[in-house]
A = this chain, B = another copy of it.
Amino acid sequence: MINPIRVLQIGLGDIGLAITQILAERESYELVNAADIDPALAGSDLGQLVGLPGDREIPVHGSISEALSNTQADVAVLTTSSGMEDITPQVLELVESGLPVVSTCEELVYPWRANPDLSQRIDNTARERSVAVLSTGVNPGFLMDFLPVVLTRVARRVDAVVVERVQDAGTRREAFQRKVGAGLTVRQFEERVASGGFGHVGLTASIELLAAGLGWQLDEATETIEPVIAEQPQRTEFITVESGQVTGVYQVGKGIKGGKEVITLIFRAVAGEPEPYDRVRIEGSPVLESTFPGGVHGDVATGAITANAIPLVMQSPPGLRTMADLWPGCLGSGG
């Protein structure tokens, strides 16, 4: 029996808890410690918190430093923030203590163009400490970037990539419904957009990751966000939307190369969307189109790909890695 991989879980929001449940199901992992900034959680027991079987205590600390000083872990899973500014000091603290890091931070999935200085700092520190850092998730990290790159492996010529993710926000958790603006007025929606971090975060990261995987040098990557207005009242388990209010979000990311739109990513999440789906379309020769009826479940898939990435990150060459390092070029990529 190989010793299980000892995991330190930092961040106990919805995604963090989803990951801990998956890790607890698998004999190859052992949750040893956790941290969250929520004062209500500090001092509690993670096993009780998420209803894990067994009676071994998994203490929840109030900070990363406290968790680090109380544990011997092999890897840290970091699910605290979507943004590079917030996540960088946390990544550095973990890496400096010698731990490889697997994160779900959306901007960290491909931060090299949008945040080159922070990326370089993380990369340098990770190389010094001989550990790898990777951020992943279903989106960004898989559906709009990694999976399309995999599909292009059977294409003779790739002219453009179009990905649509159309979700029924009404069946998702409340935080997701609020994140896409369901129940806001148009004015409130615009204020939330102006204050930042609203809607789906990660279209730019997906564009950059996809371009890196295809070996494309883009002129630019752009993102737009618009409200979807309810024509009829909608009611979910958590939220009531009147006609004329916002019922969801419509976001478009574009990658431009040689003046042409070669990457188009469409993210639409609306309460009451009748037919959710995900679709990847490779324009070129041959045209390749793959549709997921119903779509890929966001939280479960993000938890799963993060858990599945842990052994890869632990064996990876050191530094700040991205999913584009996995394929193509992963064979002999410097290991």
Binding site for B on A (CB under 8 A): 22, 25, 132, 138, 142-143, 147, 150-151, 153-157, 285-286, 288-294, 296-297, 300-305, 307-308, 311-313, 315-317, 321, 325-335
The one of B25, B290, B330 that contacts A326, using a Cβ cutoff of 8 Å: B330
Q: How long is the Cα–Cα vector from A311 to B289 in the complex, in angstroms? A: 26
Contact across chains for A142 and B153 when beta carbons are under 8 A apart: yes
Which residues in B have their C-beta under 8 angstroms from that of A303?
156
Count this chain's copies in the assembly: 2
Decide: A332 near B308, CB < 8 A? Known: A289-B292, A293-B289, A301-B286: no
Q: How long is the Cα–Cα vector from A317 to B334 in the complex, in angstroms? A: 10
Q: How long is the Cα–Cα vector from A103 to B320 in the complex, in angstroms? A: 34
Contact across chains for A293 and B291 when beta carbons are under 8 A apart: yes
Q: How long is the Cα–Cα vector from A333 to B326 in the complex, in angstroms? A: 11
The one of B143, B290, B304 that contacts A156, using a Cβ cutoff of 8 Å: B304
**Which of A143, A155, A292, A331 lies at the interface centre, i.e. has the most chain B CB atoms within 10 A of its CB?**
A331
Which residues in B have their C-beta under 8 angstroms from that of A312?
328-332
Contact across chains for B304 and A332 when beta carbons are under 8 A apart: no
Minimum CB–CB distance from A329 to chain B (whole Å) comes to 7
Complex: chain B residue closest to A151, CB-CB:
B147
Minimum CB–CB distance from A212 to chain B (whole Å) comes to 16
Minimum CB–CB distance from A119 to chain B (whole Å) comes to 18
Decide: A311 near B292, CB < 8 A? Known: A156-B304, A335-B334: no
**Which of A22, A156, A292 lies at the interface centre, i.e. has the most chain B CB atoms within 10 A of its CB?**
A156
Minimum CB–CB distance from A24 to chain B (whole Å) comes to 12
Q: How long is the Cα–Cα vector from A79 to B153 in the complex, in angstroms? A: 18
List 18 A-B residue pairs with CB atoms under 8 Å apart, sorted by A's residue number: A25-B157, A147-B150, A153-B304, A153-B308, A288-B292, A288-B296, A290-B292, A312-B328, A312-B330, A312-B332, A315-B332, A315-B333, A325-B331, A326-B327, A326-B330, A327-B330, A331-B333, A331-B335
| 9 further A-B pairs in the complex, CB-CB below 8 A; given A156-B300, A286-B297 | A138-B154, A154-B305, A156-B303, A288-B292, A289-B292, A290-B292, A315-B329, A327-B327, A331-B335
Contact across chains for A332 and B305 when beta carbons are under 8 A apart: no
Contact across chains for A300 and B325 when beta carbons are under 8 A apart: no
The one of B147, B300, B313, B321 that contacts A285, using a Cβ cutoff of 8 Å: B300
The one of B289, B307, B335 that contacts A335, using a Cβ cutoff of 8 Å: B335
Contact across chains for B331 and A317 when beta carbons are under 8 A apart: yes
Q: How long is the Cα–Cα vector from A277 to B19 in the complex, in angstroms? A: 34
Which residues in B have their C-beta under 8 angstroms from that of A286?
296-297, 300-301
Q: How long is the Cα–Cα vector from A314 to B155 in the complex, in angstroms? A: 20
Q: How long is the Cα–Cα vector from A156 to B20 in the complex, in angstroms? A: 12
Q: How long is the Cα–Cα vector from A186 to B6 in the complex, in angstroms? A: 60
Contact across chains for B290 and A313 when beta carbons are under 8 A apart: no
Complex: chain B residue closest to A18, CB-CB:
B156
